[in-house]
């Protein structure tokens, strides 16, 4: 029997990232969608789902649901997740988990006390480039890694309206929370806990109200140093990844194709889903000896397969929410570092 899902929010995250993946999973059924401003879009895309105006409308149906997904504005993540856990529902929360690490820890404690699954949608762990890099690391192709460079750069010279590009840290808007949540999570996922953080955070575009450009230097306890760039004012883009080891390096340009496919309305899954074209292959090797590496396909559907396994079989959730809290610790340290031009210690 399908697991019945309630989705809170039908903006970019809800409409393009969560609803299509839920609808495409044979073990899930999108049963309720909470949205006030996009009711007609939600009904047209998911005619079998009930559309309600607010969280109260979903909570009235909580007894008929098996899972809730929080894709509301970032500032509402804590409030909505707490209410859903109190209603007895397992919860998926879109990134960033909460505006603060302390709020995230409180939600983890709340879920544990209720015996409910709680996980965070860090979908970029299933990007093609990251999956390919993970395979290279497992095979020892790079040797001992000492430098990890990662970029999410955009060219959006004029700020767009909406909460993502306005408000203070309590809104969890700005590029550090938005793109940075992905980059920090990937670095921690690959190379482990961070001992020190240095950051430069700027608001560059005319009319911008929040940070739109940031650089983070992370010193991992493993000895790896991660350099992370994120910005919306990059007229030219650097490599998506550059990873340096004592045996070889790996450089990759271009973005995973899944986001563009989801925004275009493509149905997730199938043999070609997440596959990158041959000309976008990363390069592995040294200046004297290098070769293109076929990329593993991206696999965002794996996240919800993991959610189903957690709910039905008692498997670990696809993303430990403690990982998201560790990422928030890094983001908060980055804000302190940028404000005081300091190196912040986390160990």
Question: Residues 82-103: pLDDT tens digits?
Answer: 999 999 999 999 999 999 999 9
Task: Give the pLDDT mean for 124-141.
Answer: 98
Q: What is the pTM of this model?
A: 0.95
Residue 168 has pLDDT above 70, yes or no: no
The backbone region for 29, taken as left when phi is positive above 0, alpha when psi lies in -120 to 50, beta otherwise, is: beta
**pLDDT (tens digit, 9 = 90+) per residue, 24-75?**
999 999 999 999 989 999 999 999 999 999 999 999 999 999 999 999 999 9
Judged by DSSP in three states, 300 sits in coil
Integer Rg of the chain from CA: 20
CATH numbers and ranges of domains, the chain: 3-121 (3.40.50.720), 124-298+329-345 (3.30.360.10)
Max distance between CA atoms of the chain, in angstroms, equals 65
Residues 6+ apart with CB under 8 A from 102: none
**For residue 319, what is the DSSP state?**
S
The span from the CA of 303 to the CA of 326, in Å, is 20
Q: In which band, very low, low, confident or very high, does the pLDDT at 163 lie, cut at 50, 70 and 90?
A: low
């Amino acid at each position: 029997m399908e697991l019945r899902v309630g989705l809170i929010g039908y903006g970019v995250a809800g409409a393009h990232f969560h609803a299509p993946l839920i609808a495409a999973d044979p073990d899930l059924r999108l049963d309720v969608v909470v949205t006030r401003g996009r009711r007609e879009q939600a009904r047209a895309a998911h005619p079998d789902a009930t559309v309600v105006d607010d969280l109260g409308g979903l909570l009235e149906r909580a007894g008929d649901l098996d899972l809730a997904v929080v894709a509301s504005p970032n500032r509402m993540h804590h409030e909505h997740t707490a209410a859903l856990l109190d209603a007895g529902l397992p919860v998926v929360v879109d990134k960033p988990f909460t505006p603060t690490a302390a709020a995230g820890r409180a939600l983890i404690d709340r879920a544990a006390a209720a015996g409910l699954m709680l996980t965070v949608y860090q979908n970029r762990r299933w990007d093609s480039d990251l999956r390919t890099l993970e395979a290279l690391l497992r095979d020892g192709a790079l040797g001992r890694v000492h430098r990890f460079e990662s970029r999410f750069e955009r060219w959006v010279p004029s700020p767009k309206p909406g909460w993502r590009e306005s408000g203070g840290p309590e809104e969890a808007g700005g590029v550090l929370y938005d793109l940075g949540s992905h980059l920090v999570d990937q670095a921690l996922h690959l190379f482990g806990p961070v001992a020190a953080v240095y950051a430069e955070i700027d608001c560059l575009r005319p009319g911008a109200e929040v940070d739109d450009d940031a650089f983070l230097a992370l010193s991992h306890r493993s000895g790896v140093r991660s350099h992370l760039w994120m910005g919306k004012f990059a007229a030219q883009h650097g490599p998506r990844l550059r990873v340096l080891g004592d045996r070889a390096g790996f450089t990759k340009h271009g973005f995973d194709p899944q986001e563009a496919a989801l925004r275009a309305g493509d149905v997730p899954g199938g043999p070609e889903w997440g596959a990158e074209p041959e000309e976008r292959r990363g390069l592995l090797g040294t200046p004297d000896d290098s070769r293109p590496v076929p990329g593993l396909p991206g696999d965002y559907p794996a996240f919800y397969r993991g959610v189903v396994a957690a709910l039905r079989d008692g498997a670990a959730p696809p993303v430990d929410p403690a990982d998201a809290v560790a990422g928030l610790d890094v983001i908060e340290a980055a804000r302190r570092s940028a404000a005081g031009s300091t190196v912040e210690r986390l160990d």
